[in-house]
Structure 1
Amino acid sequence: MEATGDTSFPDDSGSQSLCPDPHTGAAAAPGWAYLHKPIIVMVMGSLMSAAGGLLFLLQSLRVTEESRSVASACLSIGLMFVVVGLVWVPILKEKQRRKRCSLGA
């Protein structure tokens, strides 16, 4: 096989970067704009957890006759939403980083 000068690979003299400079050519959404969904999920989960905690407090002070199962459900579902939002944030950040890398490459 002959060695020819025509290759389909760019010649950068061996200094290729896996990810381009983040300050150049960023056509993505500005700042935290791509994180609005997990932030909303975390806020809603926090509110639901707070409601469950408040129901526990009111029930323990004998102010309300709500059953503990309602308070437990609100608290556990709210905490689940908070955890889902917290796990979702790094996933979206990694997805955004890979998208920037693929657009720059």
Structure 2
Amino acid sequence: MTKQDVIQRISERTGLDPMTSRLIVESFFDVVKDALVEGEPIYIRTFESFILKQRAQKTGRNIIQNTAVTIAAHKVPSFKPSSVFMNQVKAQLVPTKEKKG
């Protein structure tokens, strides 16, 4: 599903025109990004959390030049689903592929 698909579904469910729905979705993304850049996590009960995780300094390899590269400690954004959301996803049946022959 693409962002355009999300906008279309929101427009259909709410009765809002697609441009208003697009503005709402884009504004939500902007709020999430701005909050995380400022170091503020976002908690949405029964859905998820947007948090920052700290990555420690580590040594990586440049395979082409065969050299060691130090990767500095840094933060990365992370999506952490709520237990309610995880249980809903886990309850879905996973289709199995039938073996041919």
Q: Same fold (TM over 0.5)?
A: no
Higher strand share: 2
Report the TM-score when normalising by structure 1. Answer: 0.27
